Amino acid sequence: MVNSMGGSFVGSWLSLGQYDSTAVIEMPNDISMEAFKMVVMAGGGLTRFDLTPLMSFEDGVQAMLLAQEVRYAPFSGKKDSE
């Protein structure tokens, strides 16, 4: 199913703790991943399916550089003319 949606199944593991298992799936984009989640959940075999998008360190650095360029001022509730 993953391959038919343009993705690849990297692997899965059983785990102890909050989750019973973890799978790593690569999809071409977030829309494809969400569609995969919808298909799997519609079957009724799972009660929970959490997504955690991953990014490379290189992409993380690019995100940090982009964020550094943005000037942000917390919302104060006051109009600019006040």
- Please give the tally of structural domains in the chain: 1
Structural domain includes residue 52: yes
Q: Which residues contact 41 (CB under 8 A, 6 or more apart)?
A: 49
Longest dimension (CA), the chain: 58
Per-residue pLDDT reduced to its tens digit, 9-59: 999 999 998 888 999 999 999 999 999 999 999 989 888 899 998 999 999
Rounded CA separation 79/77 (Å): 7
Structural domain includes residue 10: yes
Q: What pLDDT is attached to residue 23?
A: 92
Place of tokens 């964020």: 67
Residue 64, domain extent = 3-68
Per-residue confidence at 80, pLDDT binned at 50, 70, 90? Answer: low
Structural domain includes residue 81: no
Place of tokens 């940090």: 64
Rounded CA separation 51/26 (Å): 12
Structural domain includes residue 73: no
Q: Which residues contact 30 (CB under 8 A, 6 or more apart)?
A: 53
Structural domain includes residue 74: no
Structural domain includes residue 82: no
Q: What pLDDT is attached to residue 81?
A: 59
